[in-house]
Amino acid sequence: MYYFDTEIRVRYGETDQMGYVYYGFYAQYYEIGRVELLRSLGISYKEIENAGYALPVVSMQTNYKSPALYDDLLTVRTIIKKKPLAKIIFDYEIYNIQKKIINTAQVVLVFVDMKTKKPCLAPKIVIDKINHLF
């Protein structure tokens, strides 16, 4: 298992009329966490794409426990629990400044060969950086 924490401050434009973060922005928070976790391992999305692979999201499950509000400082904990094969699964826990979990999620992405447009095994550039964690 490996996790990485990323801090995000809620911007005014991310809130709805009630002052809560609009539900659609959580997917962006997950993406930010995912990109930063990979970067912490020395992997970038750009590098994966330049190697000829895409990582489309195929599943997302979200649980809203408490609202996030304008100007809240959130911690997005992104977790990889299993070694990726043809898919990579990211789990998320979002905490407010009081360290209370306000949101949990799981997002599944599949490795796709950009030439064939078909799912494939995780590329060597990803496996080489992640294998030592498991």
What pLDDT was estimated at residue 29?
98
Instruction: List pLDDT tens digits, range 87-114.
Output: 999 999 999 999 999 999 999 999 999 9
The per-residue pLDDT for 25 is: 97
**Of the listed 16, 71, 72, 128, which one is catalytic?**
16
Containing structural domain, residue 10 = 2-133
CATH number, domain with residue 89: 3.10.129.10
Domain count, the chain: 1
**Phi, psi angles (nearest 5°) of residue 63:** -125, 120
**Which structure tokens are listed for 104?**
């949990």
Q: What is the pTM of this model?
A: 0.95
Is residue 16 part of the annotated active site? The answer reads yes
